[in-house]
Amino acid sequence: MVRTRGNLSRCCSNDVPESSTQGGARKRPTVSARRRDQHEANVVEDDIVENEVLTTLLGVDRAMACVELNQSRGAQVRLSWLRELYDSCCENELWEFAARAYLLHLVGCTIFANKSATYVRTHYLELFRDLSTCRTYGWGVAALVHLYEQLGDASFANTKQLAGYLPLLQAWIYEHFPTLGRKQVRDTYVETEPRALRYVTGRAISAIADVRVQLDGLTYDGMIWNPYVAHRAARQLVTHGMFSGFLRVGTVVQRHLSERVLRLFGFIQPIPRPPSSVPMMDFEAIDDRWKKHEQFVVHQVVQAPAPFSCSDGYLQWFRRGLVKHIVGGLQWMIDCRDVTEGTVGWDRTHELLQMARDGVEEEKSRGGRRVRGRRPSTSG
């Protein structure tokens, strides 16, 4: 998210001309002018903060910080600039500054990677303000929160790239869909290592058309519903993975509701509560809960006799929610003119919309009473 920088010279100019009437009374500033002035004031304030972070935590002078922020066009720095700064700090034996430059470069290339593969946000420096405690942070949680944020953007049709720690997502795909991709497994892997190290991440590229064919050909048997079984003896997957609550890194907060995917842990899936029923918490409360995360894991679970096991009414609830989403999506396409009236696409969209609505009514008449009171718009 690159912030557009305003023209700071305007702050000292007279944008609103004086009236030609006697006394030189000024015209009242327009709403847009007031918003522009406020935006430029915010830009100046943000630049001061970012400059202060670079000078304090990386030891660069203000002029050097300003040049880099201007060249990077926002609250970010180039990875190449960090490499040069690291070398300079090492030559001058400025070890704390060198350590922060190295760590910021490391996370910018891995867990906090963005689409540019060239820049890293400066606010991540705050994570390394105290070098003696940053080793105790939940960096896996930080990677997951950042990836969740990026996956939300990736769900849009016009998104061409995905940021975040992609080896984590890649390993997840391999574990759940073993027939997808061109994975290579390490022969020397042992279960005491992180699971992602099981795979060799090469540079093999699959054509989109080939991947779509693989996805269309997936069957029930082609998915692993309960992965990591052999891994659980060596790693506390269930204890940590079944935490239910909020995760955060900086100001980015994501819900982590493991009760919605219990089949992945080998348990029967009941109808879960809707995410909207979980009230938002402040940062201090979120951090406090995570420090005591063992107290907030999902406990009321039943071992599944088969991977697909779910409670009575769950499938009906899920189908209702799925159809409701389809109805909303088709209606949105019509309302936003994604299809042109009078075309075959328009007629087909209306036909599918009517079929989906008929499905909702049919589901209500057959099994709706079993899930009454629950919001079907939040499928699990």
How do 184-185 and 252-257 pair as beta strands?
A: unpaired
**Predicted local distance difference test score (pLDDT) of residue 49:** 66
Q: Angle at Cα 206 formed by Cα 201 and Cα 210, nearest 5°?
A: 140
Token pair listed for 364: 């209500």
Say which residues have a Cβ less than 8 Å from residue 351's Cβ, sequence separation at least 6.
Answer: none
Q: Look at residue 138 in the predicted model and tell me its pLDDT.
A: 86
Residue 34: count of CB within 10 angstroms of its CB: 11
Sign of CA dihedral 282, 287, 55, 105: negative
Under a CB-based contact definition with an 8 Å cutoff, are residues 283 and 271 in contact?
no
- CB count within 10 Å of CB 105 equals 20
DSSP string, 352-376: HHHHHHHHHHHHHHHHGGGGTTS-T
In the structure encoding, which two tokens stand for residue 5, read together?
């920088």
CA distance 102 to 100: 5
> Which residue type sits at 311?
S
Computed over every residue of the chain, the mean pLDDT equals 78
* Tens of pLDDT, residues 22-56: 444 444 444 344 444 444 444 444 556 678 889 99
Residue 329, pLDDT score = 78
Contacts of 40 (CB under 8 A, 6+ apart): 6, 7, 8, 10, 11
What whole-number distance in Å separates Cα of residue 83 and Cα of residue 97? Answer: 12
Residue identified by tokens 């869909």 is 177
pLDDT in tens, the chain (380 residues): 333 333 323 333 333 333 333 444 444 444 344 444 444 444 444 556 678 889 999 999 999 999 999 998 888 999 999 999 999 999 999 999 999 999 999 999 999 998 888 999 999 999 999 999 999 888 988 999 999 999 888 877 677 788 888 888 888 888 888 888 778 889 999 888 888 889 887 666 677 778 778 888 888 788 888 888 777 777 776 667 889 999 999 889 999 999 998 888 888 999 998 888 888 999 999 999 988 888 898 888 898 888 778 898 888 888 777 777 778 778 877 787 777 888 888 888 888 888 877 776 766 665 544 333 333 333 33
pLDDT in tens, 237-263: 666 788 999 999 988 999 999 999 888
Q: Nearest CA to 110 among 146, 57, 159?
A: 146
